[in-house]
Each structure stands twice: as C-alpha cells, then as structure tokens.
Amino acid sequence: MYRTLLSFITSIFLCAAFSSEAQERTDWALKAVQYERAAFDAEDPHDAAEALVAKAECYKQLRRFGDAAATLGRVSMYMLTPERRDDVLYEKELCSYLAGDFAGAASYMEEAGDAAAPRRLLLDALVLGECARWDESRSRAETLLGTLYGGDELEGARRELDALFARVPKLKTEKQAVFRSFLPPLGHLYTGHLSEGLVSTGLNAAAAGWTVWQCISGNWITGILGGGIALSSTFMGGMARSASLVEDYNHDAMRGFNDALRALLLQHDFAE
C-alpha cells in the first residue's frame, strides 16, 4: 500500500516536471523563433541556411505556408550542396503552391530545372495545371506515371490521364464577352448563362420598344430621354454583367479541372 502510494505520487511529480517540456515540443511558433535565433547566432553561413530551412518546416506545421515560402526565400542557396539545394527548391515550390502563389511556385520550378523524382513531377504537374499550362502539366503527369508503372498498368493510367485532359477547360476572355454582348443574349451565352441572357434580352427589348412606341406617338422627349436612360442601363448593364461572368466561369473551370487532376494523380502511390 505504502509503495503503491509512493509510486503514484512519484508519477504525478514526474508528469508535472516534464509536462511543460512536452508542451514545448509542440509549440511550433516558439520553435520557429528558436531556429531564427540559431540562424542569427550562427557563425557558419551553412548553419544559418539550415536553421532557416528548419524554421520553414515549423511554419509548415503551423500551416503558415506563405511564411514558410518567405523564410525559404531567405536561405542562401549557394551555401547548400546541390542535393540539398534541390530539396530546398522543392520546398519553396511546395510552400508557394500551398500558399496559393502559383506564379511563384512556377518560378521556383523553373529555377530547379528538369524534374526526375516522382514528388517533383507530381508537384510540377499540379503547379503547371494551376498556371493553365496544360500541355506541360500533362507531359509532367505522363512522365510521373512512367516512373511508377510499366506495361498494362501504365497504359491504364495513361488512358485515365487522356480522358481528363480531353476536358481541359477552354478559358473565356472578357474582351470576347463584351464584344458578343452587342447582340444580347450572346454575351451571357458565351459563359453558359442562358436564362440570365434571356432576361437581359427581354429588358433590352422592352426598353427599345418603349423608346420606339413613344417616338411613334410623337412623345419625342419621353421616348429619347426616358427610353435612352432605360436602354443604356439595360444594355450597358448586360455588357458589364457578361464581363464579370467570365471571371467566375474561368475560376470555376480552372478549379474543377485542377481538383480533378490532383485527385487523379494523388490516387497513385508515390513512396520513393
């Protein structure tokens, strides 16, 4: 009884003594600062570079990918071995991609040069997809599948990829939407909004009809001023709406395709 009580109390004290240390182990924000201090105190630039890479890893754990990318941007790349440099460039590309900075990710991808490792090929394919560089994205995805499979398995995976890239989104332009809007409802139809286009056409027709009717009735002021105000509102409004729909359309089309591409590629086993 006495020994049990003693061991119980001992356990409590040991837990109390080390619980704070355990908490500290998961305090990634403080760890990030400690790595910054290591970089600050480092006499060897190589150590400083490695400390910053470790700090970026802490930010990744905190899901602060933009901060991670910025921290990696401070790493002196010439202090690293070629292999380590490739690792850091991959991390830069990955963090930029996860932070939504696709242009930045693409620039790191180009800085890293041709990819051979599956993880790089996967990331490159996703980044290029986000940049709407479909042919290059497909090429990387095909190379990636080639590193993973052979024979019938490769053919099967390629067929899936072909099926997906057959549905590459055709992005619309605002200029084209505005141009087509001169003949309602073609501006709305351009982005597939038929019902909204028909409503817009109805409003334009009503405004134009009112103008003509009033002018025929001899009410020139009412026709020209009243109809003119109404028609300009419906016509110009339809034009502006068509242009704004292009942005939504492109965003949805890109998101849908890139989500499908990511889902397709991530179903494969990338264990290196």
Contact residues: another protein, CB under 8 A:
2, 5-6, 9-10, 13-14, 16-18, 20-21, 27, 29-30, 32-33, 36-37, 40, 218-222, 225-226, 229
- Plot region of 192 (φ>0 → left; ψ -120 to 50 → alpha; else → beta): left
d(CA 130, CA 143) in angstroms, rounded, equals 18
How many residues make up the chain in this entry? 272
Non-local CB neighbours of 45 within 8 Å, separated by 6+ positions:
76, 79
Smallest gap from residue 213 Cβ to another protein (A): 12
Comparison of 214 and 250: residue with beta carbon closer to another protein: 214
What is the token pair recorded at 56? 């970026």
Comparison of 41 and 155: residue with beta carbon closer to another protein: 41
Smallest gap from residue 5 Cβ to another protein (A): 8
Comparison of 20 and 81: residue with beta carbon closer to another protein: 20
**Helix ranges (DSSP H) in 62-193:** 65-73, 82-98, 102-112, 118-130, 134-148, 151-165, 174-180, 186-190
Comparison of 47 and 174: residue with beta carbon closer to another protein: 47
Comparison of 74 and 251: residue with beta carbon closer to another protein: 74
Residue type, 92: K
Smallest gap from residue 237 Cβ to another protein (A): 15
C-alpha dihedral (157, 167, 90, 73), degrees to nearest 10: -170
Nearest in space to 133 (alpha carbons), one of 122, 141, 125 = 125
Smallest gap from residue 216 Cβ to another protein (A): 14
Smallest gap from residue 146 Cβ to another protein (A): 44
